[in-house]
Amino acid sequence: MTASHYAPDTLLGRYEWHARAACRGDAKIFFGAGGLVDIARRVCGSCPVRQQCLDQAMRLESGLAHDFRFGVWGGLDPKQRARLDPDVRARSEKRKNVPRYGGKPLAPCGTRGAYERHKRKREPVDDACQAAYDEYLAARSTRASRKAAA
Ligand code: SF4
Ligand SMILES: [Zn+2]
């Protein structure tokens, strides 16, 4: 196995299960794209320590989005592992619940963006949005008076 710190570095024998890994000495396919991923998955499919390997990946990559995960571990590619991660799932649930307009998330209440939206749509302005807007105005006038004094 090559010495990428993202690899399930089974040749290092750091864990007792490394000695039984089906991928010992064969790292490259685990970090390639496209067809290699399928080959890697097949090797994992017959690996007796697949669960240990996946558990280790889930620990090492805990909370990371899929684009910060690399290679095939325990038979799963980065996207599949990210989907299994409870923190990543919670974050994506949260994003799903954000109201959207034209594909973009709407600014949540309590922001200047939401205040301006309420005004544009002639909606009543709630306290949180009013407070965010007042804060913005106060910051703007502080900046303006600093500039004038300079
Ligand atoms: S599950 Fe796959 S990556 Fe993990 S040790 Fe086995 S063969 Fe290697
Ligand atoms: Zn609001």
Pair 31, 17 in one domain = yes
The string of DSSP codes covering 105-120 is EPPPTTSHHHHHHHHH
Pair 77, 106 in one domain = no
Pair 88, 103 in one domain = no
- In three-state secondary structure terms, 37 is helix
Pair 69, 29 in one domain = yes
pLDDT tens by residue, 67-91: 988 888 999 999 999 999 999 999 8
pLDDT tens by residue, 95-107: 888 777 777 778 8
Q: Which ligand is nearest to the CA of 9?
A: 1
Q: What is the pLDDT of residue 97?
A: 80
Residue that is last in its domain, among 67, 93, 119: 93
Mean pLDDT over residues 109-131, rounded?
Answer: 94
Indicate whether residue 22 lines ligand 1 (CB < 6 A): yes
- Shortest-distance atom of ligand 1 to CA 17: 5
What residues contact residue 128 under an 8 Å CB cut-off, 6+ apart?
109, 110
**Within-domain flag for 5:** no
**Within-domain flag for 3:** no
Pair 110, 143 in one domain = yes
Q: How many domains does the chain have?
A: 2
pLDDT at 140 exceeding the cut of 50: yes
Q: Print the domain residue range for 56.
A: 10-93
Which phi and psi angles does 121 have, rounded to 5°?
-90, 5
Q: Which ligand is nearest to the CA of 52?
A: 1
Residue 78 and residue 68: Cα distance in Å, rounded? Answer: 8
Q: What is the pLDDT of residue 103?
A: 78
Pair 27, 79 in one domain = yes
pLDDT tens by residue, 33-66: 667 888 889 989 999 999 999 998 899 889 999 9
Q: What is the pLDDT of residue 55?
A: 93
- In three-state secondary structure terms, 27 is coil
Pair 79, 129 in one domain = no
Pair 42, 19 in one domain = yes
Pair 54, 109 in one domain = no
